[in-house]
Structure 1
Amino acid sequence: MTFNVQTIREQFPILSREVHGKPLCYLDNAASVQKPQAVIDAISGAMAGQYANVHRGLHTLANETTAAFEAARETVRCYLNAASTDEIVFTMGGTDGANLVGNVLGQEEIGEGDEIILSVMEHHSTIVPWHFLRERKGAVLKWLDVDADGRIDLDQYASLFTERTKLVAITHQSNVLGTVTPVKEMARIAHLHGAIILADGCQAAVHGPVDVQNLGVDFYVLTGHKTYGPTGIGVLYGKRAILDRLPPYRGGGEMIDVVEQDRVTYNVPPHRFEAGTPPILEVIGLGAALEWIMAQDIEGLRAHERALTDHAMEALRATNFIELYGEAKDKGPVVAFNLRGIHPHDVSTILDRQGVAVRAGHHCCQPLMKKLGVSATARASFAAYNTHDEVERLVESCRKAHDLLS
């Protein structure tokens, strides 16, 4: 297979539009990526030709939709190399997946004085659920520091464990610095101490299939809208042995076995954790998105994104008026930066007038912002459809912002 960015771009209808009279240069992919025609067609086709509720009907439309829904679960299983579809729980997103884990562990397995280890570069979605356990159950949060580039000291990490450590929550790739964490080794160390580990894969999973069995994690979360799929859908991978022992998250249809006036028994995983009518069309769209990724030249895609990242880092650094954040080796395609003396919100506004879409703010990573000594940054992030010409547009737009606002 050969990676061809122009062929890729032709599959994304939105890339043909203009913003403020200029061709769209979309560099906000760490927030949400655009959707290929294959995903759009999968969702609209399901609505137009076969839609019904799943798992509950015996008529043709119900059977067809259930088959498509469960085929998507198998696609996710394949994408993550999970041992079984029983380990794939559909959620509303990565945040919902993390909250599910926090809720069910907090019911029976994490209590007062139990410890949760997390790093200072976590997204709020894998910070706040543990604060809930701190507030409501008396759990203790232990913070793993990182250096300015987001690199983790594994010796320091190992030193945080005690006999009370129950859970580690760690990002697989930082959404600000792009740093890829040593999840596999962190999982090994966590298991030596009898702790469970959850990896936040919302940033990592978009760059190609993930092998959760090789990583050795107990839980892994990802979100559909960052993996070329729709919003409102995500995945929680959980080892079957752990899911089997955990109580339900929400109550309703699908997650039950028997309901009587004086008792209720619960379904087996994954259905135990999927109460109510699921996001049927979104699941089908997610399946199509992951199939789209797997159909690409994955190594070529990753090499393309690395080249864009290197190009952007070098070109922005050469301006002499831009501060870059995060230069870890083999980082993901995320570039956080600030124009010295100019607020990133103003930078983002000026760039938008040039048709260049970047993110600005704390990126739901306030502890990391504090570590970096800033309140916010601008952030450019790349996907399969971005080009080196767009990197040059980013740099030129930053020059215009500097000239206008400095």
Structure 2
Amino acid sequence: MAAPADAEKPSTSTSASNTASNPKDERGLSSLDESNLERSIIRRGLATPAEVDACKAYRAKLAAQGDGTPAHGLLDVMVGAKVLTKSQMSRLLQERGEATRKLEIPGYTIIEKLGKGSMGVVFKARQNSVNRTVAVKILLDTLAQNKEFIRRFEREAQIAAKLSHNNIVNAIDAGEAGGRYFFVMEYVEGPTIKDFLDKNKIFEEKDAVRIAMAVAEALKHANQRGLIHRDVKPENVILTKDGSVKLADLGLARLTGDETWGLSEAGMAIGTPYYISPEQVRGQTDVDIRADIYSLGATLYHMVTGKVPYGGDTPAEVMRKHVDPRVELVPPDHLNSNISSGLGMVIETMLSKNRENRYSTPDDLILDFKCLLQGDSPMIAAQKPDSLEALAEGEADAFAPSAVDEAQMSEMAGYVNARNQIIAALAVILAVSMVTNVIMLVAK
């Protein structure tokens, strides 16, 4: 199950037990709370999935004996088995109580935690008024004390509200309740591209193109509304159970026409290193849709090759390679001979370090994707903008001499100047001679 925005999936128990059938224990934990509690225990390394399962099996055995004693809580059983200490149990119960208090959003019933990102925690919830499943993102407590982060969080919700497209995770609601800032989105169930790449899956060409074209359609919709995503990457592309594609997480999205916003981020490298565009690395203020096209190209490259365009030991090294013109991209069809040269051409055009040589709009990119799906060669990428750039640079070089040429030309200029001086002197002599002859003729 994929969190629709800004979330990393927590570890889950391998237990095959049906926790929904577990009764409420004497400490007031529902079956749902207990399921989340299991995940928390395992994720923190307090117990292994096998230990949790063993304790649950023992609790079921005690319940089956029917000795008239109160139902045993899982935590009590784990403490009795010396899997947990009493202090660990107390802390877990305290945290569960705090979580229940913190997650009360009017009109919504929290079901379970989906994951945690840099700005918030995402939960699966039910919108009570229409009885539908949604995703609720709640700003982290530590950030909710800072007005700037509150403003950024609210801005994300406002930007999401401008978009309504089948290939974008759509916004539903936003607000504040009890000091908690929340943002409600449609709930999208399905894995992300990253989930597949983490399992070393390499996508077939047509599947990869179909997915990338859907993301390009989402970018087209955003671009028409003056927005850029700025963080297109595998973990933000969700593949739903019905086969559709959803672009998620607008946490870094920006209005292209907001100059004040752009200037406030001048010089800042905003994005994810493996997929960030060169202009984002440089912190340019005039970033536009071509940056998203670059990031989509990096994502597509990863999908069909199993490798990121540029690797490195540190984020700084990776970002430097995106910008450095001396670092050449390994053509994707060199890494995977099963993909067509046409797709390789499209990806290389998307990943041009000079944005003037990329697709200028998602429409152009979509046109080439359609060509590939029909088995034709790409129309736009076939124009080879990189070759045209090289030609233009070559023509410019013809009129911009090197240091050696300049020396030679200086020497030639000296000869020319000397020749011109001699010609000028001869012209003067000739003129004087002609004037003299005229005078002599007049005198006669």
Question: Which one has a larger percent strand, Structure 1 or Structure 2?
Answer: 1
Relative to its length, the structure with more helix (as a share) is 2
Q: Report which structure shows greater RCO (CA 8 Å, sep ≥6).
A: 1
Could you say whether these structures have the same fold, taking a TM-score greater than 0.5 normalized by the shorter chain as the test? no
TM-score scaled by length of structure 1: 0.23
